[in-house]
Structure 1
Amino acid sequence: MNPQFLMDGLIAGSIIGLGAVGVTLTYSILRFSNFAHGELLSWGAYIALAVSSALGYLATDLTSPIGPFSFGWSLPLGMLLAIMLTGLLALAVDALLFSSFRRRGSAVIIMVMASFGASLALRSLLEFIFTSSPAYFTNALQIAMKLGGGLRATPDQLLMLALAAIAVIVVHLLMTRTDIGRAMRAVSENPALASIAGIDVRRVIRTAWFLGAALACVAGVMSGLLIQIRPYLGHDLLLPLFAAAILGGIGSVPGAMLAGLIIGLCEALAVQLVGAEWRAAVAFVILIAVLLARPRGLFGRVA
């Protein structure tokens, strides 16, 4: 068996894990499965592409590759602005759609169905603006470096792994060492009691939306840089994202990341053992197995 599946699985798993962190944060605080979350990955990638292209047009020096990487400074700058804009997009969707349901005390199933509608609308709008043709951040080719043990990776791939690790550490510290993080954990435990204790629940909800969208943007940019950008980018990752969020335990940031890596490795292993056509089924099998054997996940709280 080719050990390269380990590196392929870690790369795919880091993208899934970052997206799953956003899923687990929004679910633990808002109490519903947001099926529009995958579209935030796509929007983040396309916004970063648009900003990066505009910066490259205005200043061609920004497109010159940085060291061994395939992209110039226009992409990091574009990603930073895309993070802000994707977060604002998530806040706008919440303000226009979900907040009205919360005020009326709507049932969870209504929120879930509304998220399906939001997902379709966001994806269709992407296709209308950018068309359905795949796009790329760069056309530069990279040679994979030997890492030892039969493993290879390009500089871009190694950078993305480091970026995913840094993002998870920052979010974990935010959740455990800051006032807003403690407030988010309190609202996750009991929104009514947190409100009585003086916590601004609406501010916590806005923070959860923005943070989840920011992580989705980073995951979308990573996927777009390593593979390609297309309107169905986030939709195709939606099942692995939810599988990782449930496997890791709802509300657990390290658990979501670890579960994402597990699912990525299982998908890469499945490609080698049974073929690429079965890759999409791996997340579904893991999801069903977790729901049957350990519904609270690896690091979830006991009900």
Structure 2
Amino acid sequence: MMLQALADGILTGSIIALGAIGLTLTMGILRFANFAHAELITWGAYMALGALALTGTFAGPISPFSFGLPLVFATLIAVVLTAALALLIDHLVFRPLRSHTSHMTVVFASFGVSLLVRMVILLIFGGSAAYYSNELQIAIRVMPGLRVMPDHVFTLGLTLAIVVALHLFLQKTRLGLSMRALAENPDLVRINGIDTRVVVRWTWVIGAALAAVSGVLYGLTVQLRPEIGFQLLLPLFAAAILGGVGNVFGAVIGGLIVGLAESLSVLFVPAGYKMAVPFFILLAVLYVRPNGIFGALRGGAK
């Protein structure tokens, strides 16, 4: 029972971590809490569902997984469409507000954007649960008390690969270094002639891409509902704040901690209270260490 809860917690935490990375990047560089980020996860998941409806009949699943190449292509399409939506929202809403109003106004605007995106999803896809595939999977017995699905192994492996790739991008590339510098000291970045608008645009693209992948993986391992973003909102913020705003590695660790805490909590309290666990974690972190385990980056961008 404990081993299974640990495995489920790591799976959930890896999905939360992907979404939290995108959230912590935008919070660290733009310096506002973007509540619409959670709805980008939902948008990405449903964009993949729409793309899959056009391509899913041309190929079957790849054994032992429940999905095939159509979902892979649909995910790539979802990444592009989610990045496009994020750039559009920033151009129409956030960028004008960042230039002329306080950060709190931008935060409140993100609430409105999140509601708008959710209503658009409801209008297009309806409120019923949906699935990427109707294929049934048999859990693989790894050891006594522990069974895993092939899709779960794929999800964890893909998450690890993305985290490593993003780490190398931020450490080794000029754009990644510019993003880190902008989060740390925006004034110094501007003095050195770096175009902060380009860095901000790529921040949105990367954050939205990670949100889309996170949404697809969530839908692959659970199911699709328009409430995905709302259900993940508090865990995402808890993970980002726990790891330290702007810290990618911290967001990963924070996501795993939140996922494990949620999963292990059902061993001691009714499952209906599981949603409250991230809230208690968030309160505890804010009380004991407001800057998170690994500290927060300072900065902002126009």
Q: TM-score, normalised by structure 2?
A: 0.96
Shift of 1:108: 0.7
The letter of the residue matching 1:3 is: L
Residue 226 of structure 2 is aligned to residue 235 of structure 1: no
Contact 2:247 2:295 in 1 (8 A): yes
Contact 1:87 1:211 in 2 (8 A): yes
Q: How does 1:98-109 map to 2 (within 5 A)?
A: 98-104=94-100, 106-109=101-104
Matched residue, 1:85: 81
Contact 2:246 2:297 in 1 (8 A): no
Match among 236, 247, 253 for residue 248 of structure 2: 253
Shift of 1:296: 1.2
Shift of 1:302: 8.2
CA–CA separation in structure 1 for the residues paired with 2:28 and 2:168: 18
Provide the aligned C-alpha RMSD in A.
Answer: 1.2
CA–CA separation in structure 2 for the residues paired with 1:160 and 1:302: 29
Partner deviation per Cα, 1:147-196 (whole Å, 9 max, x = no partner): 22522111001000001111111111111111001100111012122111
Say which is worse superposed, 118-127 or 292-301, in terms of deviation.
292-301
Counterpart secondary structure, 1:272: coil
Matched residue, 1:97: 93
Matched residue, 1:74: 70
The letter of the residue matching 2:106 is: M
CA–CA separation in structure 1 for the residues paired with 2:208 and 2:45: 12
The letter of the residue matching 2:196 is: V
CA–CA separation in structure 2 for the residues paired with 1:39 and 1:92: 14
Shift of 1:2: 3.4
Matched residue, 1:39: 39
Residue 2 of structure 2 is aligned to residue 2 of structure 1: yes
Identity %: 51
Partner deviation per Cα, 1:226-277 (whole Å, 9 max, x = no partner): 1111111111100000000000111111110111011111101111111201
The letter of the residue matching 1:206 is: R
Partner deviation per Cα, 1:47-72 (whole Å, 9 max, x = no partner): 0011111012xxx332x110200112
Contact 1:53 1:74 in 2 (8 A): no
Residue 128 of structure 2 is aligned to residue 133 of structure 1: yes
Matched residue, 1:208: 203
Contact 1:42 1:233 in 2 (8 A): yes
The letter of the residue matching 1:61 is: F
CA–CA separation in structure 1 for the residues paired with 2:74 and 2:135: 18
Unpaired segments of 5 or more residues in structure 2? none
Shift of 1:208: 0.7
Counterpart secondary structure, 2:147: strand
Matched residue, 1:155: 150
The letter of the residue matching 2:209 is: A
Counterpart secondary structure, 1:69: coil
CA–CA separation in structure 1 for the residues paired with 2:213 and 2:297: 31
Contact 2:55 2:70 in 1 (8 A): yes
Contact 1:17 1:260 in 2 (8 A): yes
Counterpart secondary structure, 1:138: coil
The letter of the residue matching 1:24 is: T
The verdict on how the C-alpha distance between 1:100 and 1:69 changes in structure 2, with shifts beyond 3 A counting, is same
Runs of 4+ with deviation above 3 angstroms: none
The letter of the residue matching 2:254 is: A
CA–CA separation in structure 1 for the residues paired with 2:254 and 2:194: 31
Matched residue, 1:198: 193
Counterpart secondary structure, 1:273: coil
Matched residue, 1:179: 174
Match among 274, 282, 296 for residue 279 of structure 1: 274
Shift of 1:113: 0.3
Contact 2:64 2:150 in 1 (8 A): yes
Counterpart secondary structure, 1:152: strand
